[in-house]
Structure 1
Amino acid sequence: MNTIPSVMKGVQLLGHGGPEMLQYRADIAVPTPHADEVLIQVLAAGMNNTDINTRIAWYSKAEGDSADASWSGNPLTFPRIQGADVCGVIVAVGKNVNQQRIGERVLIEPCIRQVKGVSLDLPWYFGSECDGGFAKYTVVDAKHAYAINSKLTDAELASFPCSYSTAENMLTRAKVTANDRVLISGASGGVGSAAVQLAKARGAYVIAITSPSKNQQLLDLGVDQVIARDADLVDVLGENSVDVVIDLVAGEQWPQFLSVLKPGGRYAVSGAIGGALVELDIRTLYLKDLSFFGCTVLEPQVFQNLVNCIEQGKVNPIIAKTFPLQDINAAQEVFLQKHYVGKFVLTI
């Protein structure tokens, strides 16, 4: 086994703000695994909207105050190493972890329920409330490091954890089956394209909302129908026409989602890139007996289900572009332009 160095290369977030708050360094101390943790050499790490949202304090609901700008609603500790999507290999283990895990290729579950052997009252997000994968090494409790047996590359595997577990969780919470017509907003993004694949794997009829330039890429993923994101959903689909809405956008179009849902329909949301404040006619909610699901914390079975899907080849990685870790600012600049389908991955 290679000797583990005392320092490593990585990117630290120094505080809330612009890209200048990200600092690439080569002298960051390598973490030491506690009794219930594993030390992972990071091979690749995917990028997500949450990386930028955390940096700019988007999660804060108090204007001018970033104290609640995290997934848990607690202040972040800086400097912080971000990065929720991690593919790597276990290189050391704590005293309570089986030594045979050394050498395992793993994916990290980004929704953290246990830290240093202690269960959390409110789950953390890997790379937010604790250091993540934008560095050569990272630590996590052993229960959140899932062994993966796959011929896919490290970059391809790093495209899965956050987006695909988020999508799988939404579909799980909304109880999507083969009998459902499912409408997915933001279908060309990381979570959206994951939801497309996972819904099709369940046998559902999938309708994707995206820009026309991305239609063919989504049809190639198996989408049954594509709708332009500026279209009137009621005109195109009709009222009471879908069983489930998987929403990653919210924004001005949001009332239309409730109009196209059938009575007894299910709405699941895990993003609001189109605008966080929406207009709800509460009568639509109760007269149609709709069910709403806010989806952040993963259901216990979700990540293992995802690993099984990857190993069985039921889902495919969609890599838009890869960048070396030191080019993270350029990567985020291109990422924000949204002219792509799939994930951006940083190679470590």
Structure 2
Amino acid sequence: MKAVLLHGTGGPEKVQYTDVERPVPGIGEVLVRLKNASLNRRDLFITYGLYPGMKLPSILGADGAGIVYAAGENVEGLSEGDEVVINPGMNWGSNLNCSAPDFHVLGMPADGTYAEYVKVPAESVYRKPAYLTWSEAAAIPLSALTAYRAIITRGELAEGDTVFIPGIGGGVALFALQIAAARGARVFVSSSSDEKIARAKEMGAAGGINYRSDQWVQELNKEMGGADVIIDGVGGAAFKDFVFLAKPGGKLVSFGATAGPVPEFVLPRVFFKQLDIRGTTMGSPEEFADMLQFFEQHEIRPVIDKQFSLKDAVSALKYMEENRAFGKIVLDIS
């Protein structure tokens, strides 16, 4: 079969579109013939070796949707031809509050979805929501699950709450906007692009601010009136501003740090405001099922920025690196 394989680190150029042996499903496993896969920033980081537990060579890709092609022994409730979407989180464990030590994600160390076929445990596949196209279904798993857990489980968002989502345009941030808006929250966003802010408003955001403005924090605070929940995948020097923008008793939920470590952190600003700072990443199988149900209930569709063929995965990764995308980047496989 054709697959996108990473042999060594050094960036997207180290990725190869090549022939590999098609996997055979074992006990309790299914083989999925993939229709589409989608990119996550995790994939880009892996090409540079910026991820814990590096194990190469490996087929990249966490997200995918397709058709059950074959099933191993002891697989029940699934048949050849079933249309499915894959939960890329493996071995979450029994504790819903956090993942188990052996939790991992498809696409390294386990071979992932940048391929014509992928082998996964049967419990990791779910029925594809009928209203979604193959591209849309493939765009959901990792980012939507991360956003759902951040908003619903860790953020405990209630109807009428005010939410701030910095760095709008990426997959998780956009899903967080869609989930929060469907939940009945007032959503505010930030970006360095006025165009992205305008598009976010079209999707339901109540307001937004360009963080290149010298007074963006004060301007946003005046417009927003403080946030009950902040969903942050940025980190870096701006984190102190997020603490300022949170309402007393508010929650700051962190799922990433694309801007790097927080250089200065003044603790009194946290404890005098009675803030909760909560970490989150991915989610449990139960949350994945709940997320799909929530999406179906509200007919949430992913925003897809651009599609590439599987053989052009290097170009897709380079495009992601440019940080111009608004929404998910998808690979066409079939």
Q: What's the TM-score, normalizing by structure 1?
A: 0.88
- What are the superposed Cα offsets for residues 234-267 of structure 1, whole Å, 9 maximum, x if unpaired? 3431497111110011122110100111111101
1:184-199 to 2 correspondences below 5 Å: 184-199=165-180
Structure 1 residue 161: Cα displacement: 0.8
Which one of the candidate residues 297, 317, 325 is aligned to 1:312? 297
| Residue equivalent to 1:236 | 220
In 1, Cα distance between equivalents of 2:261 and 2:121: 33
8 Å CA contact 1:123–1:297 kept in 2: the answer is no
Q: Choose which of 8, 11, 16 in structure 2 pairs with 1:18.
A: 11
Following TM superposition, by how much is the alpha carbon of 1:99 offset from its aligned partner in structure 2, in angstroms?
6.6
Other-structure match for 1:200? 181
Cα distance change on mapping 1:334 and 1:131 into 2, 3 Å:
same
More relative contact order, 1 or 2 (CA 8 Å, 6+ apart)? 2
Which has the higher mean CA deviation after the structures are superposed, 314-323 or 273-282? Answer: 273-282
Structure 1: which 5+ residue stretches go unaligned? 1-7, 59-68
Q: Distance in 2 between matches of 1:120 and 1:260?
A: 33
2:307 is aligned with what amino acid? T
Matched residue type, 2:180: A
Q: Work out which of the residue numbers 42, 45, 57 in structure 2 matches 1:53.
A: 45
State the Cα distance separating 1:120 from its structure 2 match.
Answer: 5.6
| Equivalent position of 1:266 in the other structure | 251
Structure 1 segment 47-126 matched on structure 2, within 5 A: 47-58=39-50, 69-70=51-52, 74=53, 76-98=54-76, 100-113=78-91, 121-126=101-106
Distance of aligned partners of 1:294 and 1:99 in 2 relative to their CA distance in 1, 3 Å threshold:
closer
Distance 1:287 1:12, change over 3 A: same
- The alignment status of 1:164 with 2:160, answered yes or no, reads no
**Other structure's SS at 2:168 match:** coil
Cα deviation per residue 1:269-291 (whole Å; 9 max; x = unaligned)? 11111223332111112222211
Match of 2:331 in 1: 346
Q: Is the 8 A contact 1:86 1:158 kept in 2?
A: yes
- Contact (CA 8 Å) 1:106, 1:145: kept in 2 or not? yes
Q: Which residue in 2 is equivalent to 1:218?
A: 200
Contact 1:42–1:86 (8 Å) recurs in 2: yes
- d(CA) in 1 for partners of 2:55 and 2:325? 32
CA contact (8 A) 2:150 2:280 kept: yes
**How has the CA–CA distance of structure 1 residues 252 and 163 changed in structure 2, closer, same or farther, with 3 Å as cutoff?**
same
Confirm or deny: 8 A CA contact 1:244 1:265 kept in the other structure.
yes
Q: Tell me, in whole angstroms, the C-alpha distance in 2 between the residues paired with 1:32 and 1:114.
A: 23
Cα contact 1:240–1:263 (8 A) shared by 2: no
* Secondary structure, aligned partner of 1:101: coil
Q: 1:114 to 1:140 in 2, by over 3 A?
A: farther
Residue 38 of structure 1 is matched in structure 2 by 30
> For the structure 1 residues 247 and 120, does the alpha-carbon distance in structure 2 shift closer, same or farther, using more than 3 Å as the test?
closer
Check whether the contact 1:39–1:90 (CA below 8 A) recurs between aligned residues. Answer: yes
* Counterpart in the other structure of 1:141: 121
Counterpart of 1:129 in structure 2 is 109
Q: What is the CA–CA distance in structure 2 between the aligned matches of 1:240 and 1:256, rounded to whole Å?
A: 14
Work out the CA distance in 1 between the residues paired with 2:190 and 2:178: 14
- Structure 2 CA distance, aligned partners of 1:235 and 1:220? 21
The residue type paired with residue 218 of structure 2 is: V
Tell me if the contact between 2:182 and 2:298 (Cα under 8 Å) persists in the aligned partners.
no
Aligned mates of 2:139, 2:22 — CA distance in 1:
24
Alignment of 1:239-250 (within 5 A): 241-250=226-235
TM-score, normalization by structure 2: 0.91
> Quick check: 235-244 or 174-183, which moved more?
235-244
Following TM superposition, by how much is the alpha carbon of 1:54 offset from its aligned partner in structure 2, in angstroms?
A: 1.4
Mapped contact 1:34–1:95 kept (Cα < 8 A):
yes
Q: Is the 8 A contact 2:228 2:247 kept in 1?
A: yes
Q: Is the 8 A contact 1:148 1:311 kept in 2?
A: no
The 1-side partners of 2:25 and 2:82 are apart by 16
User: What is the 5 A alignment of 1:145-156?
Assistant: 145-156=125-136
**For the Cα contact (< 8 Å) 1:15–1:55, is it kept in 2?**
yes
